[in-house]
Chains A and B, each alone.
Chain A
């Protein structure tokens, strides 16, 4: 796709205010050639133009001493934007040049990506580890179109991303051909359904205020992507009066908490319940969120189901019953949903049959309470808000921020008699969880020596290498359940969650963004990486190598879009046609993709294909040694489909 083709004889900009004396002097001395602006990238060499070359010099300055982009960099620095991921594009050349020269490519530092989807997904993964947004800079048209799916994922995942795009507002300022094709009246329109807010500033002061507003809105729960459309003239032209510009401070923001009376009511219901169950999805933004949920669960000695949008609850905690959710829900008389996007789905079994039908997983008399910010920001078009559940008490407020109040309210109501009953309840739950883990270990051992490698074996080998490290599972594309069941995760950064919108192509770049955030903390980042997902954005590997981002990709290479294969099987079964053709359009064979060679081509250490399970452990040790040196590595392990 050609993005930077410019006709060499076309003027793009009008006379600029604030040009440098040096530039003006050079012009007055008649040393300038007739070309007012050199072509940035021409497909063919310019043809001789004697008339233009012999014409007298115009008063058309070629240099300037400041740019709007410089001021924009100062604003981004005030927001402490650490990185900006880009695929280079002419519509933001002004800001790009200001970042690398005026800002010396430090806070923000540019991260070079080979696709805008990679840039946006990296920002999503980064934010979930670092707890703040990363910048993305893209063409306002074609670049934003590339980034769209990743922004949708982030929107569904309630993750802040700070997107900036280039645009050329004034028609007479656009060069013919490409710059018209790359300009839009309202470039954010194509993604506005899944943005939290956007603006197109008309001045530098307007930019400063909108930039701070955007950051504040992105970081106020429910969090989400924001976008600023930056006019090229605003980025590139001199600053008329720097003294008149002011960068607003970023306010300290008090996050929304649940109403005190409603929280007290929830506490009363929890304390009185015989079998309360807590379900959490995108609850823990920080360690405090996980710690408070542990405190609440231990106070009540009740079961917790962690849906895995974040690492909400320690995976091996005796009260973690995520692996036996249906059992605990069947017993529940009270369910508290914490930052759930799909509460209805959590409480119902749904059948993918000709006549679709649902069955509740809880008893009819079970009470339901929700706590979250979901109701504070919902849009209409995309249906990611899921089916409506008529809960008994809906508390609108940030889950993590409200938990301390809820914990205190529960503490006040628990007396000695209840405490004894809770301990008995906790012991039963702990025993059931221990039995489940024992069963899972026995399941994981089935086919221990089989080739292709079973996922149970792969995850056991991986855990053996990680358990003594400060690790972070930054990607688990299809949600392989073994890590959450058999590994011990007691820190919120141990897991960076999922894509949010189930848009395939997130895992590889999302994991890399999380690894980028983990780098300065010295954590060992690992991603279980699907083959189909990596093929959407394999250039992610080049970014990992180029920026020396330490991450270990362990391939879940089943040579298929296997979930889709199973869906086609389902259809073929329903239509009684046999499943012999289900591989058509769903598999990645003939030829098999050699991911180790692909990775090497991008400059990433790699081994594989590895199909003998006995080779996995030693290969992991070698690859982890590479990652500990600060480099990326990939192991192409050939594994069972599921």
Chain B
């Protein structure tokens, strides 16, 4: 199991705060198999906290939306391997690096947040 480096942790926090752009994300998304990523996302239980379409959810508290994740791939993988919070850990023997890339690619295809002007009318009341 990898050791959490201060740098990786800093990148993760920054990414969660939206302070960094997903450098290399497109490369990883291209390398991942979207179909297999979707299958794994549902089969391996990611959906149970983050929703089938990556809309987020609740565990001990709110769990973040992952649809069209802006998290850099390295930070995404780091969070899976050694989560910074109460999220279950996914070690290599459970999810290989390729499988992580597949899930990441799938999440990048999911439609993320809409612009406020495009929200359904009933969400504006």
A164 nearest CB across to chain B (Å)? 39
Contact assessment for B125 and A463 in the assembled complex, using a CB-CB cutoff below 8 Å = yes
CA separation between A642 and B61, bound complex, in Å?
Answer: 11
Size of the chain A interface, CB-CB below 8 angstroms: 44
Residue on A with the closest CB to B56?
A443
Contact assessment for B55 and A446 in the assembled complex, using a CB-CB cutoff below 8 Å = yes
- The 8 nearest A-B residue pairs measured at CB: A573-B88, A642-B57, A447-B53, A446-B55, A442-B113, A464-B122, A447-B55, A642-B58
Interface residue? A576 (CB, 8 A): yes
Interface residue? B51 (CB, 8 A): yes
Residue on B with the closest CB to A351?
B86
Contact of B86 among A352, A450, A562 (CB under 8 A): A352
Residue on B with the closest CB to A451?
B52
Contact assessment for B125 and A467 in the assembled complex, using a CB-CB cutoff below 8 Å = yes
Residue on B with the closest CB to A441?
B123
Q: Scan residues 441-494 of chain A and give those whose CB is less than 8 A from a CB of chain B.
A: 441-448, 450, 452, 454-456, 460-461, 463-464, 467, 478-481, 486
**Inside 8 A of B122's CB, which chain A residues have their CB?**
460-461, 463-464
A484 nearest CB across to chain B (Å)? 12
The interface bits of chain B over 15-49 (1 if a CB of A lies within 8 angstroms of the residue's CB, else 0) are: 00000000000000000000000000001110111
Determine chain B's interface SS by DSSP, over half rule. loop
16 further contact pairs, Cβ within 8 A, besides A454-B51, A460-B120:
A442-B116, A446-B111, A446-B112, A447-B53, A447-B67, A460-B122, A461-B122, A463-B125, A467-B125, A481-B58, A486-B123, A562-B48, A576-B91, A582-B45, A640-B47, A642-B51
The interface bits of chain A over 605-642 (1 if a CB of B lies within 8 angstroms of the residue's CB, else 0) are: 00000000000000000000000000000000000111
Interface residue? B5 (CB, 8 A): no
CA separation between A443 and B55, bound complex, in Å?
Answer: 7
The interface bits of chain B over 57-91 (1 if a CB of A lies within 8 angstroms of the residue's CB, else 0) are: 11110110101000000000000000001111111
Query: 17 interchain pairs (CB within 8 A)?
Result: A441-B124, A442-B114, A443-B65, A446-B111, A447-B51, A447-B54, A452-B52, A456-B55, A460-B123, A464-B125, A478-B58, A481-B62, A566-B59, A576-B93, A579-B45, A642-B48, A642-B51
CA separation between A478 and B60, bound complex, in Å?
Answer: 11
Number of contacts between A and B (CB, 8 Å)?
115
Interface residue? A416 (CB, 8 A): no
Contact assessment for B113 and A446 in the assembled complex, using a CB-CB cutoff below 8 Å = yes
Size of the chain B interface, CB-CB below 8 angstroms: 40
Which of A454, A455, A463, A573 is packed against the most chain B CB atoms within 10 Å? Answer: A573
**Inside 8 A of B94's CB, which chain A residues have their CB?**
573, 576-579
**Inside 8 A of A602's CB, which chain B residues have their CB?**
none
CA separation between A85 and B111, bound complex, in Å?
Answer: 50
Residue on A with the closest CB to B80?
A573
A586 nearest CB across to chain B (Å)? 10
**Inside 8 A of B112's CB, which chain A residues have their CB?**
446
A225 nearest CB across to chain B (Å)? 29
A642 and B59 in contact, given A442-B119, A460-B120, A579-B45 (Cβ under 8 angstroms): yes
CA separation between A438 and B118, bound complex, in Å?
Answer: 12
A578 and B44 in contact, given A464-B125, A573-B88 (Cβ under 8 angstroms): yes
A565 and B48 in contact, given A352-B60, A464-B125, A642-B58 (Cβ under 8 angstroms): yes
**Inside 8 A of A640's CB, which chain B residues have their CB?**
47, 51-52, 55, 57
The interface bits of chain A over 138-176 (1 if a CB of B lies within 8 angstroms of the residue's CB, else 0) are: 000000000000000000000000000000000000000
Contact assessment for A446 and B125 in the assembled complex, using a CB-CB cutoff below 8 Å = no
The interface bits of chain A over 292-327 (1 if a CB of B lies within 8 angstroms of the residue's CB, else 0) are: 000000000000000000000000000000000000
**Inside 8 A of A205's CB, which chain B residues have their CB?**
none
**Inside 8 A of A570's CB, which chain B residues have their CB?**
86, 88
